[in-house]
Structure 1
Amino acid sequence: MPDPMPGASVRDARLDVLRGLALVMIFINHVPNTAWEGWTSRNFGFSDAAEGFVFMSGLAAGLAYSGGFRRASLWPAITRVWGRAWALILVHMTVTVIALGLTGAAVLWWGLPGMAEINNVPPLLADPLAGFLGLALLSHQLGYMNILPLYAVLLAVTPALLWAALRAPLALIAVSVLVWLVAGSLRIAPPTYPTESIWFFNPLSWQLLFVLGLASGTAMKQGRRLVPVRRRLVALSAVVVLGIMVWALWDDLGARLNAGMFALRDTWLPDFLFDYDKTFVSGPRLLHFLALAYLLSALPIVRRACAHRAAWPLAVLGRHGLTVFALGTVLAFAGQAVKLAGLRVGLDRDLALDTAILIAGLGLQLAVAMVRERAAGRQR
């Protein structure tokens, strides 16, 4: 939903900066129980950085690939999208193996058996052969490693989505909303194996955020907005965002509002519309994210802040999102091991230790992103 870019060669700084900010918050949340996780976006509303990451992934796909689907020959454009999807799968598999290696090292070399009891590792130890098959099929995902399989599945169907977005964007969004409603109402989601559960990020539900981003990116590529800036919409979005922030931060008021919302959930209405379920992108989460996304895209101050040189580190992280996310996932596992080691000496939510873990992890991610940035500059 951001404003159109001035030209095809101009990159909107907001996409890079906001994606970089989402990656920072994802990393912080993936090293749980730190003193800093209370300051990430999920504590000030119903949605979190995951919604932003998926939406902006769709936005980036619309910007990057929609031009190829306006040509007579579609096969080169299709193979380009599928090549990216395959790259995501390879990155996911690589990161999974490294994370399992870190888990093994933490248990065998550093005496931290607790690492084998978290992150969905126990099913692999209980039945390794079934676990290996589940990993290969993407039906068994380690903890905090659920986004890339979702992203790969969504990219696999992106050619069809782009074809529809270029011809009938409103119809595409209507179908996407219908799929979201049916999946949430009937609890339809891909199963996991060997554990009997469902995908944490249900593609049938999360596709709505991706499609909205894809339609927005396709519109931006054509020099227009999917949803125009209107003062009333800006005011309404601000009221929703601020109201939900008060709801989330004011415990007594939040408890009363939750009680009223859960009463609606217990009626004949679809329950996922009135809870905080992340798997099915519940109604409150979706409402909060859409209001926040529209507000950020419409306010001029956001554009100016993202274009400021002080936002450059976030922009670099955002421009190399896949590399940063993969490295951040591995470093988060290492950070979890350090946290477990700290618990043995009584350092639970220790500000100094938590700060050191996060600064070291984010610093390494920024350093790698800067190397990638310089290499990309030399290629250009």
Structure 2
Amino acid sequence: MNRRWELDLLRGFMLVMMFTTHLPTRFSDKLGQPFGYVSAAEGFVMLSAFMAGLIYTGRAQKAGIPAMKKAFFRRVTTVYACHATLLLFLFSAIAMLGLKLDQPALTNLIGFYLSDPWAALPGALLLIYNPPLLDILPLYILLLFASPFVLAFAMQRGWTGIFVISVALWACGQFPLSQGLYEMLAQHTGLRVPFSETGSFETLSWQFLWLFGLWMGAATAQGRLDHRKPFPRALVVGAFLVVLIGLVWRHTAGQIPVPGDAESLINHLFDKWRLGPLRMLNLFALLVVIMHIGPRLSERLPRIGFLEKLGSASLPVFCMHLVVVLAALSIAGEYRPGRPLLLDVLMMAAGLAALYATALVTLYLDREEQQRMLAARKEQELKRAGRRQATAAGAAKSDLPT
């Protein structure tokens, strides 16, 4: 499958947004959620799901559903290996560095591990204990693991039943249902990981966003979105208004819609971790706007190689962004007013350089691997052709009169 450069560019842009938001500098608050009450995490999850639906539906059409499932599980294994490596890096080198330099930002981040390592380490490897910053990959792993079964069902029976269940689960995710179920499970199994340490992302809510992206990718692979009708004018105008309101509100009030009132109903409706209804409205309005202007915009959009390369190597770049952010937290700590501007600029520049270097190395290794596979395939074809010629020569010789 030929790469779609505009999708790589979008993924690269979202990776940069996540990095600048997570890196502890004076820029993180200003660059967080720059387009309204929508963060890079939502866009990255939806786009990752779209790519999965696009690629693996094509695999199923070409080689069958069993081959699609096998490819999915290989990807799950790769992502899990990356997550486990990051955990071990955090619990060893980063933890020692943070303790030695006495950085509260880092020690608070892994407070449960420091207090109960024998429960934290196996809990983390089982995707139960998920420290901040390292809680999106476990969500990705779980959703990726379920995806081949969802795609196989959808290809045979359609998406209607899947979305009915998905919307119901999203609605359940707006309430503390997960916490109640988890605490009941912990009570009967003796789990020592508190619910507050299982990660910020509410799986019941975020599965809907993943399934929506998966459906869009599958529909694109099957050609069902190639001749999509334009959105109604009223929908486009309404979406532009919602996006404009969210944009002005975010940059007037800040990243929290009603600052100083954590229990405000409005804040719950915009909640990121549960994907509250108003947040979903803002997100889908932005999606309608992007889909409306996207085709014309992509014709005029400049090719930004830096972002495209980051997007082409998204998993290694995402992992490197976490390595850089964790190292910054353990060495420099959280941002405090008075820190020299030059230091923040240097941290940002060095981090972006590390992400770009990771992308270049990854793409180089991928090309080398593809060339080795191509050479091995050609060698096998030559051997098969030689065996066929030998068989044909032997048959011809046996047909000669004696």
TM-score, normalized by length of structure 1?
A: 0.83
Per-residue CA deviation, residues 145-180 of structure 1 (Å, 9 max, x unaligned), is 111100000011101221244341344223211211
The one-letter amino acid paired with 2:47 is: M
In the alignment, does 2:6 pair up with 1:14?
yes
Aligned-partner Cα distance in 1 for 2:343–2:154: 48
Instruction: Determine which of 303, 308, 322 is the counterpart of 2:315.
Output: 322
Counterparts of 1:207-218 in structure 2, within 5 Å, are: 207-218=207-218
Runs (5+) with no aligned partner, structure 1: 1-8, 266-270
Does the aligned pair in 2 maintain the 1:85–1:156 contact within 8 Å?
yes
Per-residue CA deviation, residues 108-134 of structure 1 (Å, 9 max, x unaligned), is 55x234255222x11111112111221
Instruction: Determine which of 84, 87, 95 is the counterpart of 1:93.
Output: 84
Give the secondary structure class of the aligned counterpart of 1:42: coil
Counterparts of 1:1-380 in structure 2, within 5 Å, are: 9-32=1-24, 34-70=25-61, 73-107=64-98, 109=100, 111-119=101-109, 121-166=110-155, 167-185=157-175, 187-188=177-178, 191=182, 193-197=192-196, 198-225=198-225, 228-232=229-233, 233-251=235-253, 262=264, 265=265, 274-299=268-293, 300-304=295-299, 306=301, 308-309=302-303, 311-340=304-333, 347-348=338-339, 350-378=340-368, 379=370
* Percentage of identical aligned residues: 29
In structure 2, do the counterparts of structure 1 residues 255 and 100 end up closer, same or farther at CA, with 3 Å as the change threshold? closer
Using the TM superposition, give the Cα deviation of residue 228 of structure 1 relative to its aligned residue in structure 2, in angstroms.
4.2
Using the TM superposition, give the Cα deviation of residue 39 of structure 1 relative to its aligned residue in structure 2, in angstroms.
3.6
Using the TM superposition, give the Cα deviation of residue 365 of structure 1 relative to its aligned residue in structure 2, in angstroms.
0.8
Per-residue CA deviation, residues 330-376 of structure 1 (Å, 9 max, x unaligned), is 11111223422986xx843x321111111111111111202222333
Using the TM superposition, give the Cα deviation of residue 231 of structure 1 relative to its aligned residue in structure 2, in angstroms.
4.6
> Could you say which residue in structure 2 is the equivalent of 1:6?
none
Give the secondary structure class of the aligned counterpart of 2:174: helix
Does the aligned pair in 2 maintain the 1:96–1:142 contact within 8 Å?
no
Aligned-partner Cα distance in 1 for 2:229–2:153: 21
Give the root-mean-square deviation of aligned CA atoms: 2.9
Per-residue CA deviation, residues 25-45 of structure 1 (Å, 9 max, x unaligned), is 11112223x221234251441
How many residues align? The count is 354
Between Structure 1 and Structure 2, whose CA radius of gyration is higher? 2
Does the aligned pair in 2 maintain the 1:45–1:241 contact within 8 Å?
yes
The one-letter amino acid paired with 1:196 is: F
Aligned-partner Cα distance in 1 for 2:12–2:287: 15
Does the aligned pair in 2 maintain the 1:28–1:36 contact within 8 Å?
yes
In structure 2, do the counterparts of structure 1 residues 323 and 347 end up closer, same or farther at CA, with 3 Å as the change threshold? same
Runs (5+) with no aligned partner, structure 2: 183-190, 372-402
In structure 2, do the counterparts of structure 1 residues 108 and 210 end up closer, same or farther at CA, with 3 Å as the change threshold? closer
Per-residue CA deviation, residues 205-249 of structure 1 (Å, 9 max, x unaligned), is 101111110011111112232964325233222111111112222
Per-residue CA deviation, residues 20-63 of structure 1 (Å, 9 max, x unaligned), is 1111111112223x221234251441120110111011101001
Aligned-partner Cα distance in 2 for 1:249–1:64: 37
Once the two structures are overlaid, the 10-residue window that deviates more, 358-367 or 197-206, is 197-206
